[in-house]
Amino acid sequence: MPMKRRLILPALVAAAVVGCGGTAPPAETADPETMEPEPLPSEAPPAGFESGMTEMPDVEEKVVEAAEDEDEPKKQMKEPEFTGSMSQNEALNAAQGASDEHVPEDLFTGQLNPEVFAECKVPGNVKVTLKLAVWDGRTVGVTVKVTPKNKKIETCLDSVARKIEWKEKAKSITPFSWGM
């Protein structure tokens, strides 16, 4: 007897599930030419298409409007303010969000060599690392590291680096490092 109960219960559950579906409602008779096909659940109607529309809206007008927007000058970004003694990081922070342009750093590092800093008389045993930030052809941020530490050489290198006039001029901030 327990075996029959085990079989009856799943059969009743299955019958209830299948039986609850009911029968399909009778199909309405309609003219096939005026019927709109229902979109599949996984398909969303195209953008701009509303229920009951028989044609897509005029997309050409929107394309023309977008093309006209591209012809308008880009919004002018506010030029950052740099002080005469900013470090590289301070200059980068000051210029944050001021430009979308990018100038490759090798355009600047190629202009540097030890002769540029000859007036600082850096001995051969001194290691120098310069971190510079350039905006529109001028050095706006300098961080100097000299090993072994020598304040006189650091000050001279900082001063010379800030006077460099760079060939590349762009309203963008370019950070780079250089060493000797």
Q: What mean pLDDT comes out for the span 121-126? A: 95
Query: pLDDT for 61-100, tens place per residue?
Result: 444 444 444 544 555 668 899 998 999 999 999 998 888 7
**What is the residue-averaged pLDDT of the chain?**
75
pLDDT band at 26 (very low <50, low <70, confident <90, very high): low
How many Cβ atoms from other residues are within 10 Å of residue 128's Cβ?
Answer: 19
- Position 79 scores a pLDDT of 85
Q: Among 96, 156, 95, which Cα is nearest to 122's? A: 156
Is the pLDDT confidence value at 148 over 80? Answer: yes
- Domain regions of the chain by residue span: 88-179
**What's the rounded Cα separation, in Å, for the pair 124 and 164?**
23
Percent of the chain with pLDDT strictly greater than 70: 57
Question: Cα separation of 148 and 19, whole Å?
Answer: 90
Query: Considering only 25-29, 139-143, 157-161, which range has the smallest mean pLDDT?
Result: 25-29
Give residue 28's pLDDT: 55
